[in-house]
Structure formats: C-alpha cells, structure tokens
C-alpha cells in the first residue's frame, strides 16, 4: 500500500507539473502563430506580441485544450475505473437537482460572501479583482467560451479526472478528494481564488464520487461559472425591484446549496461505508 501511495503521488505531481508547463508551451504556440499571421498579412514578423487580456485568454484557452486532451487520455486509460456507465442512473432527478444546487446556488452564495469580505478587507482582494477583471467578456466571444466551457471541461478532466483517479486509488475517497482539491486551489495561483477553488474542488469531487460520471462535475462547473455572467446581466442595473429580487434569489441560493451539500455528503458517506465493508 505504501508503494502504491508513493507511485500515485509521483504520477499526480508529474501531471500537475505537466499542466503548468503546458501554459508555457501554449504561450509559445500562440506567439509563433501571432508572428506568422503578422508576416502573412504584410506586417513585421519581428513585432513584439502585445500583452493584453485578449491574448492572455487565448493562451489560457490553448493551454486548457492541450491539458484536457492529455489528461483525457490518462483518464480513459485508467484500468481501475468503472467502465460501461448507465446514464439513466447517473442523471437521476436528485442528481440533476443536486448539480443545479451546487452550481448555481454555490456561485451566488459565494459571490455574496466574497462581496461582504471584500468590503471589510479591500486590500486583500487586489490580485483577485485584477484576475476577475481579466475575465470580463468586454465583447470578446473567446472569453465566454473559455470561462463557460473550455475552462470547466478542462479543469474537471484534469483534477476530477486524471488526478482524482490516482489520489482516490492511493488514499481513499476523503483524503484523495482533499488532495485533488488542494492542487486545484494551488493551480489558480491566487490566495482568494485558491481558497474558494479548494472548497469548490471538494464539492466537485463529491459530485463525481456520487454520480460516477465526469460529465456531472463538468456540468456543475459550467453552471457555476455561467451563473456569474447571468447574474451580472440580469441584476446589473440599479432598480430597487431587481435589488429586492436579488435578495430573494440569495436566500433561495443558500437553501439550494445547503440541500445540495447535504445530499452529496450523505451519498458519499453511504457509498464510502459500503465500499469499506
């Protein structure tokens, strides 16, 4: 068992290191593509790549796609993972409601919580605010695609797929789930994002363990990220009615999140106890 833990830990660290290096590789690919496009269009091939949000999003998207494809191969080749999924047992009504509650309810509850903490400790959120500003769409369709589709799918296949497969095998569900969530938090390279990404990673791991399908945490993550843009669009005005409606939505979100967490924690505990017998 000790050898298994060591072997899996090394593989996990190699995967984690690989996705960090993939960002460097993606930057090189994008830079070469930019230089080539400039040369073809008659511009200077030696023109320096400008540093702006659009370019950073493109590099992140390329890195995410490359990491996703690599980790998807690792995930699908796992000999110990259960094959042949019956999706009628995966996408049950309870699971769907749990996914919606964790995704939408979690996003809105977290947004309100962070807003309160931000008002009390504004200096601690400077880096976080800059990251969030970089992810504002500003008319760029690639930002929407990256935040609401590419990013969630890639991160789930990396962390709840390739990495969690190995940590769970070596350390069991609860410890393995905490380890993959910790790496998920570190991956965000920002204290505020890292803290909430850790707890989000814990929940997404429970979604995977409960349902048995990687599609479920992907769906949860997509809902979580998409809800951010939806509430900005719907509640972006200064209407008193919309403000009151948002307060009601916050209360509903807290109830949704609480019910979802209770459901997934209970299911995970029951499944874990059954596997130990």
Tell me which residue of 144, 147, 164, 163 sits closest to 207, measured CA to CA.
164
Structure tokens at 139: 């008319």
Tell me which residue of 76, 74, 192, 176 sits closest to 131, measured CA to CA.
192
Structure tokens at 151: 């990013």
Tell me which residue of 130, 137, 102, 138 sits closest to 218, measured CA to CA.
102
Is the pLDDT at 137 greater than 60? The verdict is no
Is the pLDDT at 62 greater than 80? The verdict is yes
Is the pLDDT at 8 greater than 80? The verdict is yes
**Please, what's the largest Cα pairwise distance for the chain?**
69
Percent of the chain, pLDDT > 90? 54
Tell me which residue of 208, 129, 219 sits closest to 168, measured CA to CA.
208
Query: What pTM value is reported for the model?
Result: 0.91
239 falls in which pLDDT band (50, 70, 90)? confident
Tell me which residue of 256, 219, 261 sits closest to 90, measured CA to CA.
219
User: CB-based contacts of 144: which residues, under 8 Å, 6+ apart?
Assistant: 137, 229
- Do 155 and 19 touch, CB atoms closer than 8 A? no
**Per-residue pLDDT tens digits for 14-31:** 999 999 999 999 988 888
What pLDDT is attached to residue 84?
74
What pLDDT is attached to residue 217?
97
190: left (phi over 0), alpha (psi -120 to 50) or beta: beta
Is the pLDDT at 276 greater than 90? The verdict is no
Tell me the pLDDT of the chain averaged across its residues. 87
How far is residue 213's CA from residue 207's CA, in Å, rounded to a whole number?
A: 9
Is the pLDDT at 120 greater than 80? The verdict is no
């Amino acid at each position: 068992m000790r050898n298994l833990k060591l072997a899996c830990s090394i593989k996990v660290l190699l995967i984690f290191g690989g996705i960090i290096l993939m960002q460097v590789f993606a930057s090189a690919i994008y830079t070469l593509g930019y230089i080539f496009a400039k040369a073809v269009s008659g511009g200077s091939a030696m023109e320096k790549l400008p540093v702006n949000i659009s370019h950073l999003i493109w590099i992140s998207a390329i890195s995410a796609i490359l990491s996703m494809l690599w980790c998807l191969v690792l995930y699908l080749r796992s000999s110990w993972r259960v094959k042949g999924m019956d999706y009628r047992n995966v996408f049950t009504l309870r699971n769907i409601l749990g996914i919606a509650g964790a995704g939408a309810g979690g996003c809105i509850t977290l947004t309100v919580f962070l807003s309160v903490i931000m008002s009390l400790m504004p200096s601690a959120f400077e880096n976080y605010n800059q990251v969030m500003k970089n992810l504002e769409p500003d008319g760029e369709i690639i930002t929407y695609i990256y935040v609401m589709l590419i990013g969630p799918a890639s991160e789930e296949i990396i962390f709840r797929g390739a990495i969690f497969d190995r940590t769970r095998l070596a350390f069991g569900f609860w410890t393995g789930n905490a380890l993959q969530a910790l790496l998920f938090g570190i991956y965000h390279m920002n204290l505020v994002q890292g803290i909430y990404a850790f707890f989000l990673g814990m929940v997404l791991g429970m979604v995977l363990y409960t349902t048995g399908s990687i599609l479920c945490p992907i769906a949860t993550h997509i809902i979580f990220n998409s809800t951010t843009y939806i509430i900005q669009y719907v509640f972006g005005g200064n209407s008193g009615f919309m403000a009151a409606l948002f307060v009601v939505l916050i209360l509903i979100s807290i109830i949704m999140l609480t019910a979802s967490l209770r459901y997934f924690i209970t299911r995970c505990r029951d499944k874990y106890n059954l596997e130990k017998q």
